[in-house]
Structure 1
Amino acid sequence: MTKLSKKAAPAAKAAAPAASTKLGKTELTDMLGDRAGLSKKDAVGALGARLDIMGEALKSGQTIGLPGVGTLSVRETAARQGVRPGTSEKIQIPAGKKVAFKIASDLKKSL
């Protein structure tokens, strides 16, 4: 019988997880770098700058058109009465703003 060493053997690399339904910032920067021929650092900077610009535009009330994808816009929401879950207490929900997305017709047809 052989003695087992106290050191654990290095674990085998886990198999790659199944394709996720969410595409995160890391995956986007990797894909951007590959398709545009950018270094990882440049791809991170380019995507970060684009997201910052989009956030600033939405905050100022501008609409953002993404050709082939859709349109992001800011919409006003009216004040309304709601119900607090659990207690069924009626509450007043104030007016506000939300970001709305309208999908491009070509993309919608291809889904």
Structure 2
Amino acid sequence: MLLTMTKKSAKAPAKKPAASAKAAPKKGAVAAESNKVAKTQLVELVADRTGLTKKQSEEAVSTMLESIVGALREGKSVGMPGLGTLSVKQTAARTGVRPGTSEKIQIPAGKKVAFKVASTLKGNL
């Protein structure tokens, strides 16, 4: 007996993705494959390396971040030795294209935060 397969029967049924693969990690859980270091992880690192309590470390990290944001809002650059420099740059007004409609729109001038990596860090990566 000779069996022939048509295109329709040769196609395998679509597999449903596993529910656990899409599930988001629980709050407070550290994802093993994540490349991002969260603020809570920074607080824990500071606490471990300095001997401060987690509450003191959280205050120190929060104060540092608030100071950096405050300096940037004032238009100052923030240099972090061994890491790099954060600075505020002006962007020019320009003409853009709205996706989907291809309508030309005018984008106003604004500001953006730029980061320049320190040469010591760049060389060690």
TM-score of the two chains, using structure 1 as the length reference? 0.83
Partner of 2:86: 72
Q: Aligned AA for 2:63? A: A
Task: Give how far 1:72 is off.
Answer: 0.2
Calculate the aligned-residue CA RMSD, in Å: 1.0
Structure 2 unaligned runs (5+)?
Answer: 1-29
2:63 aligned with 1:30? no
Q: Please give the secondary structure, in 2, of the residue aligned with 1:87.
A: coil
Counterpart position of 1:44 = 58
2:106 corresponds in structure 1 to 92
Cα distance in 1 for partners of 2:64, 2:32 equals: 29
Deviations 1:19-57 (A, max 9, x none): 420001000000011111110000000000011111110
Over alpha carbons, which structure has the higher Rg? 2
Residue aligning to 1:8: none
Residue type at the aligned position of 1:101? F
Aligned identity (percent) is: 57
TM-score by length of 2: 0.74
1:36-87, CA deviations, whole angstroms, 9 ceiling, x for partnerless residues?
1110000000000011111110000010000000000000000000011111
Matched, 1:110 2:124: yes
Change (3 A) 1:17 1:77: closer
What stretches of structure 1 move > 3 A for 4+ residues in a row? none
User: Deviation at 1:17?
Assistant: 3.8
